[in-house]
Structure 1
Amino acid sequence: MPRQSLESLLESLNTSEHPGLVPLLGAVVDWLRPDGAETTEDVVERIQQLHDAQKGRSQKGEQPAAPDLRKHLQTSMAEARHLSLYTEIGLFSRRGFVRELGQRFYERINPRPRDPENLRDVLSQVFNRPGDTVWVTQVPDDAWILLLDALVDLDDTNGPALTRAREQVLYSLEMLSLWVAAEELEPELLRLDPDIAERNSPFVALERELSAYVRYYAQWLEDPKQDAHDDEHARVLLQQCMDQVDRFHKRAVTHGSSMSLTHLLERLDQTLTRISDLLDILKRDDNTCQRCAGARLFREMVVQNARQRSLRALWQDNIKLVSRSITEQSGETGEHYITQNRREYLQMLGSGAGAGLIIAFMALIKIQLMQMGLSPGVETFWVSLNYGLGFVLIHILHFTVATKQPAMTAARLSAAIEAGEKGAANQAQIARLLIQVGRSQFVAVLGNVSLALPVALLVGWASLAWLNQPVMDEAQMHYHLLELRPLAGLAIFHAAIAGVWLFVAGLIAGYFDNRSAYLQLGARLRDNPLLARVTPMGLRHRIADYLDKNYGALMGNFLFGVLLGVTGFIGLLLGLPLDIRHVAFASANLGYVASIEAMQSATFLMYFLFVLVIGAVNLWVSFALAMYVALRSRGVRLGDLRQLMRAYGRELRKDPQGFLLPPRHTPEDSQPKD
């Protein structure tokens, strides 16, 4: 359908009878909305034409075709209700996830009647196309200010539309400040900081200041000769509230978080930001600030109003909250998996070697279990137990499984990227951290493989020499060689599955660490009446302290082993070729095969290369998934990858050995001096 001309549009709206706010704005937006072949510049050009026509300055020099358009809009806007527009859109619901999901689903199948005088409902009816959020965000602020000026005349500050808008913004500001003050009594916040109930917190002080600000602002509107009550003190208190929310976030890492707490803190962040936006709109003697703030808020309203009707957006928001509450713990743990100097590097090598020693025997136990002729279910149970208890033993002995690192280090890296967006880090710092992460993972893999493979060889040779019996039969030997082949044995696919389980294990560890802190597990165990009857106080305290610090790691390691063990059984039930390949176990299996089969050097090197490929897939899949979740949970992006790669290259050129070996000097010494 061809787009009508501006004259035709204005003529159609030039009616003596009031058509209503939705038809008026709907017709204007339909005329502005770009079709598939148009760009943002076309929309801006039409806004300029409408502005010129309404101002009586069209290129033809003609008077506006329909001066009643403004009159109708002024009348409608003077009666419109704004409150839900400012206090609901873009702010997390207080109903919680389950009730909000049910409400949105019911709205889908049986929508409520729309109120033509409620601006939130007007917005949802006017911007009702799926692509509206895209072009609305692309149109610059100046263009939206021109459109608003064309429709309601921004120069007429005492006009009915702007007068009503100011009244509603003031009322919304007061309501939002009351909500912020009420949040102080939430048990979750009192748990994090009990002192806020015993002092004049910034939340209560902000409510009092904003209440006074609204009262004096209303008096100033009635009598502009009165002294103005500026918003400087309110903004100071607003910043103090934001600082307090940041402290809550930090305390949640050590005191434990929950879905409801993360939801509450995000809602507080959103509410405080909205208060700041409304203060900008009310800024006296600064029309530029008022108009720019209005344009920004308008764009946000269109986008967030569309998201608040979407089931998918609700799910994404809540997954983000869950991810953040879990990955906060992983971000703290990730510090221990990044080596920065020679001492830490050698410690990681030794820690990886210790894990390789244990994994060699875990692989041997699995080989023996598979030769016992057990039923698939029973075999899966014992294999899962072997993996789970083996990984728990590795953790208890302070050893490191190399592929467990990415899930932890990704959260640490995403925290650095988030800091970079806030100005506390830069691409060079992130590149240095990437090098440290890669180097740490390399040395841990080296430690795992350097002991798993030779120990397997020695055990295999010892079995032949002392027991005159190979550790596996010929069929198993061929099976283990086949499973190392990247394509024929589906090793790459199976290594990717192991990478997914590694990522999941990191989330599991973060979840249980968070639960331990949230439930105060250590304190509970120290005072547990049942344990007090059967264990001495010193032993009970040592157990409580250990579990308090290691609960997440123990559960993550055990369940990771279970996931590895049940994958093949799940594939059997589904009739799919599902299995796992892990670099340390693959190297041990190669060692056991080489102890029986007289392999040529070239053949052995080829299979060893296959083992390294499996390790690379393990690392990159788990790292990519963990990085994606960690970034999404913080709402940050990697940014310009080319710029990051250039920074990475510069760091490597400065210290080529740093790719695999840590520098001789400390990281502090490498920082530029002022």
Structure 2
Amino acid sequence: MLNILESISDATTGIDTLVKLFNTLRPKRAADAGKAIANVRTLTRLLKADPAHAQALRDYIVRLLGERRHSSLYTEIGVLSNDGFFTELKRRIAYRLLPPALGDEYLSDALDQLAHEQTDHLWIAAVPAADWLDLFDTIFTAVPGMRNVMLAGLLDAIRTLSYRVAAIGLEPKLTNFHTEIEVFDSPFTEQNREVNAYLDGYQLLLAGEAAEVEDARHLLVMLDQCEDVVAKIRKKALVQGTSIALTYLLVTLTQSVDRLRKLLFLVDTPDASAEARRAAAVALMLELIEAHNKKYTVRDLLADNIHLLARNVTENASRTGEHYVADKRSQLGGMFLSSAGAGVVIGFMALFKILMSYLRAAPLVEAFLFSMNYSLGFMFIHLLHFTVATKQPAMTASRIATGLQSRDGKYLDIDSMAELVNKVFRTQVWAVLGNLATAIPVAWLIAFGWQRITGHHLVSPDKAMHLLHDIDPIGSPALLYAAVAGVCLFLAGLISGYYDNKALYTRFAQRVSQRRGLGRLIGQQRLDRLGVYLENNLGGLMGNFYFGILLGTIGTLGFLLGLPLDIRHVTFSSANFATAIVGLDHNVSWQLVLKSVSGFLAIGAVNLMVSFALALWVALRSRQVRFKHGFALLKALGRRFITAPVDFFLGARDTAPLLPDESTIKR
């Protein structure tokens, strides 16, 4: 470190010497905060001990700062570009593989050369701000014109960010979604007028043509109004849906306004002390270095954008999930009947799949036939307003996640949360029982009737034993395949929420009603009703369609790739069990029956747990909620079971006073 300081002279140019000095501050391990602090303090002591070294380093850094353009450092690092999500994604992937060339014109390139390690922000942030300020004071004490060297770049960045905010505020994707911007004076354009007037006055002040400049109070009010509009649009998007493009614009707009506010604080904020500005400068330095280290990180881009879109997707799934939560015994009875109806349809779907397997079609053709059987069957169940039990978790998980966070960011009362989880649990149990209550007898009747009508069994004894082996929880990978089916259920829930969001955002009902040709064919009133139905049910229909595609193709995909991939679904497994029993003429040992029944029940449990866990994880991440009271929640559920085991599974009687709804419980 001392050798590097001694090598700095008036003839020193380029950034290589500063890079070497910065490397001496970097500890071998980014997590070694003690070493980083010691290195910074050592450099400070060396500079204080020899003012000549401090003078040489000071002149060297000032020359570097004077030779480079500063504005891009503040306007680009940590602020998304206006290129759009997918363009930014491609750029980051390309630069991760091959970083861009660095030049000698921009200060941002200098930062790239200094903090070239992706973990630099960790040890830099670990050093106390007081130590950094002490080092800066030692280097830059009494530097003539130092403020003007930095000030010009800050002012240019403020103007650039202001124009960017105004341009984003006039984007059609944003103005068409929030038309109030066009009706009233847009705060995005108004802030630009204020910024230009403010900077023009500042330039006159620097040129000595004005005694003072008007402070930034009114400008900060305009930025507050910009943030209020962004908040309104995000709230509106939860009801009307959103898109990746709109979400990206909102993230970019928020980052630009936030950076603009920070730069204004550094330049001129009323009633701000010098110490406050110094602390803000260090905070901005740390922010820029961390953003620089992560500027080509794809994960951060996804985190900034996708969680907002996922929030809308899961929000729509949450509203759907409210229909899957029964409060009273009469509602549980309704859920049971609805699920029983689905079980009847699934009994016939199991029949069609067996018949399709006898065609011995090519693998891809067979996958297509199986997929259409599943997809059309599930869509038919949706049209009849029946319920497939395993479709619930992806919806109810979002419903639970909605109840996990209050408006002030605190968690709900544990007992209230336990009540909601208990409702979800017993509703799903009764839905599964409803599916099984009809799927098994319907499949048995079909197999028995087939044998009576045709004179031979629907499945041969070998095929029957194969069906029973497929649901063996110990002797086959049935539970692994059940987990794969749980992942498919989870994906179907996301797809459903995505299309619900898309239908709202694109005004699907209005688009359908505008098809004049179709209106002349079926009548405008019927077309309007069709549009409303599709807008309200597009997510459910598409979720069921793609769920069928997933179930029908996973097995073939595993066969083609040579991987152990297949699916096991509780309702189809139970129907296959009934078909196999008839195929064996009921000559089955009680041990095999017990193993098979426990097998499809275990498959159902895995289906539910996997899909529910994944959906709950995404719902929590989309809301940026961290729920850390799982053990307390389990204890509360245990108390409910011990206190009232009947009500735990059946719910309160309809005549009993109801517990308050989750949304009305005081946080």
- The amino acid of 1:19's aligned partner reads T
User: Is contact 1:77-1:161 (8 Å) kept?
Assistant: no
Using structure 2 for the length normalisation, give the TM-score: 0.86
User: Is contact 1:531-1:540 (8 Å) kept?
Assistant: yes
Corresponding residue for 1:541? 528
User: Is contact 1:492-1:617 (8 Å) kept?
Assistant: yes
Query: Is structure 2 residue 98 aligned with structure 1 residue 118?
Result: no
- Which one is further off, 323-332 or 113-122? 323-332
User: Is contact 1:192-1:255 (8 Å) kept?
Assistant: no
- The amino acid of 1:394's aligned partner reads I
How far residue 348 of structure 1 moved from its aligned partner, in angstroms, is 3.0
After superposition, the C-alpha distances for 1:6-54 in whole angstroms (9 at most, x for unaligned) are: 54443344x232334x335423321111113971122123223333443
Q: Using the alignment, how far apart are the partners of 1:119 and 1:162 within structure 2?
A: 16
Q: Using the alignment, how far apart are the partners of 2:565 and 2:196 within structure 1?
A: 63
Secondary structure class of the residue paired with 1:115:
coil
* 1:486-525 mapped onto 2 (5 Å cutoff): 486-525=473-512
CA pair 416-668 structure 1, distance change in 2 beyond 3 A:
closer
Q: Using the alignment, how far apart are the partners of 1:463 and 1:103 within structure 2?
A: 61
Secondary structure class of the residue paired with 1:398:
coil
CA pair 275-449 structure 1, distance change in 2 beyond 3 A:
farther
Q: Using the alignment, how far apart are the partners of 1:171 and 1:416 within structure 2?
A: 46
Query: Is structure 2 residue 390 aligned with structure 1 residue 388?
Result: no
After superposition, the C-alpha distances for 1:95-126 in whole angstroms (9 at most, x for unaligned) are: 23454455556656776543335221111110
After superposition, the C-alpha distances for 1:367-402 in whole angstroms (9 at most, x for unaligned) are: 233345555454433322221111011111212222
Using structure 1 for the length normalisation, give the TM-score: 0.86
* 1:71-470 mapped onto 2 (5 Å cutoff): 71-101=59-89, 103-104=91-92, 113-153=101-141, 159-215=144-200, 229-282=214-267, 283-284=269-270, 285-310=272-297, 323=310, 326-371=313-358, 373-374=360-361, 376-414=363-401, 419=405, 423=409, 425-426=411-412, 428=414, 434-461=421-448, 469-470=456-457
Corresponding residue for 2:593? 604
- The amino acid of 1:243's aligned partner reads D
Query: Is structure 2 residue 13 aligned with structure 1 residue 19?
Result: yes
Corresponding residue for 2:614? 625
After superposition, the C-alpha distances for 1:615-638 in whole angstroms (9 at most, x for unaligned) are: 22222332343344445555x253
Q: Which runs of 5+ in 2 are unaligned?
A: none
- The amino acid of 2:41's aligned partner reads Q
Corresponding residue for 1:485? 472
Secondary structure class of the residue paired with 2:176:
helix
Corresponding residue for 1:616? 605
How far residue 331 of structure 1 moved from its aligned partner, in angstroms, is 4.1
How far residue 491 of structure 1 moved from its aligned partner, in angstroms, is 0.7
- The amino acid of 1:370's aligned partner reads S
Corresponding residue for 1:649? 635
User: Is contact 1:652-1:659 (8 Å) kept?
Assistant: no
User: Is contact 2:85-2:245 (8 Å) kept?
Assistant: no
Corresponding residue for 1:59? none
How far residue 606 of structure 1 moved from its aligned partner, in angstroms, is 3.0
Q: Using the alignment, how far apart are the partners of 2:552 and 2:510 within structure 1?
A: 34
How far residue 214 of structure 1 moved from its aligned partner, in angstroms, is 4.1
Secondary structure class of the residue paired with 2:72:
helix
CA pair 518-66 structure 1, distance change in 2 beyond 3 A:
closer
CA pair 392-278 structure 1, distance change in 2 beyond 3 A:
same
Query: Is structure 2 residue 26 aligned with structure 1 residue 33?
Result: yes
Corresponding residue for 2:660? 667
Query: Is structure 2 residue 626 aligned with structure 1 residue 638?
Result: yes
User: Is contact 2:27-2:35 (8 Å) kept?
Assistant: yes
User: Is contact 2:307-2:622 (8 Å) kept?
Assistant: yes
Query: Is structure 2 residue 5 aligned with structure 1 residue 10?
Result: yes
- Give the share of equivalent positions with the same residue, in percent: 37
User: Is contact 1:331-1:411 (8 Å) kept?
Assistant: yes
Q: Using the alignment, how far apart are the partners of 2:413 and 2:52 within structure 1?
A: 53
After superposition, the C-alpha distances for 1:646-670 in whole angstroms (9 at most, x for unaligned) are: 3443465367558645466333489
Corresponding residue for 2:44? 51
Q: Using the alignment, how far apart are the partners of 1:162 and 1:191 within structure 2?
A: 43
Which residue of 515, 526, 530 maps to 1:528? 515
Aligned-residue CA RMSD in angstroms? 3.6
CA pair 646-34 structure 1, distance change in 2 beyond 3 A:
farther
CA pair 570-79 structure 1, distance change in 2 beyond 3 A:
closer
Q: Using the alignment, how far apart are the partners of 1:655 and 1:79 within structure 2?
A: 73
User: Is contact 1:79-1:164 (8 Å) kept?
Assistant: no
How far residue 582 of structure 1 moved from its aligned partner, in angstroms, is 0.6
Query: Is structure 2 residue 35 aligned with structure 1 residue 42?
Result: yes
How far residue 274 of structure 1 moved from its aligned partner, in angstroms, is 1.7
How far residue 505 of structure 1 moved from its aligned partner, in angstroms, is 1.7
Q: Using the alignment, how far apart are the partners of 2:228 and 2:579 within structure 1?
A: 58
After superposition, the C-alpha distances for 1:483-515 in whole angstroms (9 at most, x for unaligned) are: 112343211221122122222222322333333
Secondary structure class of the residue paired with 1:204:
helix
After superposition, the C-alpha distances for 1:131-175 in whole angstroms (9 at most, x for unaligned) are: 32433344444444444434434xx6x853333333322332232
Q: Using the alignment, how far apart are the partners of 2:541 and 2:55 within structure 1?
A: 73
CA pair 193-356 structure 1, distance change in 2 beyond 3 A:
same
The number of aligned residues is 655
Q: Using the alignment, how far apart are the partners of 2:620 and 2:97 within structure 1?
A: 34
